[in-house]
Amino acid sequence: MTFRAIQDAVISKAFNESDRANVKNWIVFRHAWLWDLCEWTFKFGTANVTFTADSQIVGAVPSDFGAAIALYDTNGLPVAPVRDFRTFFDTFNANLQNGSGSPEAFTVIGSQMFVGPSGNGTTGLLVYEKSKPALVNDNDPTGLPDGYDLALVHGGKAEGFKLANVPLWQGFDEDFTAAANAMQRQYLTSIRGQVGQMGAYRPGGALGQWR
């Protein structure tokens, strides 16, 4: 469902067209609530990024980037994260003349990633958490799994009725909570069944060998 379709469903048989501005706010609130409730599997992704030559700024960062989980260099080795960007720039900044090379560390300011030393034109792998989709335009998607957009209809009606002191809000709130519970059963892990401990990797043959 698009943002507009959800609005229309919330208004239907419950509110007036003149309430649409408020309806948008109710939906956006419940959307943020649901998005931030858990570390849903659909909130994470991977992307190939570029360590731009002679620049500390990482290129090709995806537009839906929200937070970095891990970064790997062109050889698959992890790049050390530095959460405090001030500490990062104490060691790596343009005035220090660190030169360029394979990245040793990275930090994030806003939605921009920096590596130190400056990049050498190679590529890396970013594992990241996606930012919450903004519900602004009528055609904006929610980013929720297929079939769960209706939860925002229940949530939006619940907010509207609750603010108007209409007891019907409780039933819609229960439906919203039931949808969240169902998502917790389905979207908190993408690996099910027995999981064993991974041993150390030992090179050998085309695919290598685990021991």
Q: Are residues 125 and 54 in the same domain?
A: yes
Position 109 in a domain: yes
Q: What is the pTM of this model?
A: 0.87
- Inter-residue contact 117 to 52 (CB < 8 Å): no
Q: Are residues 47 and 37 in the same domain?
A: no
Range of the domain at 11: 3-41+135-186
- Inter-residue contact 111 to 98 (CB < 8 Å): no
Position 145 in a domain: yes
Position 19 in a domain: yes
- Residue 204 gets the label, from left (phi > 0), alpha (psi -120 to 50) or beta, of left
**Residues facing residue 3 across a β-bridge:** none
pLDDT tens string, the chain, 211 residues long: the values are 999 999 999 999 999 999 999 999 999 999 999 999 999 999 999 999 999 999 999 999 999 999 999 999 999 999 999 999 999 999 999 899 899 999 999 999 999 999 999 999 999 999 999 999 999 999 999 999 999 999 999 999 999 999 999 999 999 999 999 999 999 999 999 888 776 676 665 655 444 444 4
Q: Are residues 71 and 122 in the same domain?
A: yes
Q: Are residues 140 and 170 in the same domain?
A: yes
| CA neighbor of 103 nearest in space, from 111, 112, 113, 95 | 113
Position 204 in a domain: no
Q: Are residues 116 and 144 in the same domain?
A: no
Q: Are residues 122 and 55 in the same domain?
A: yes
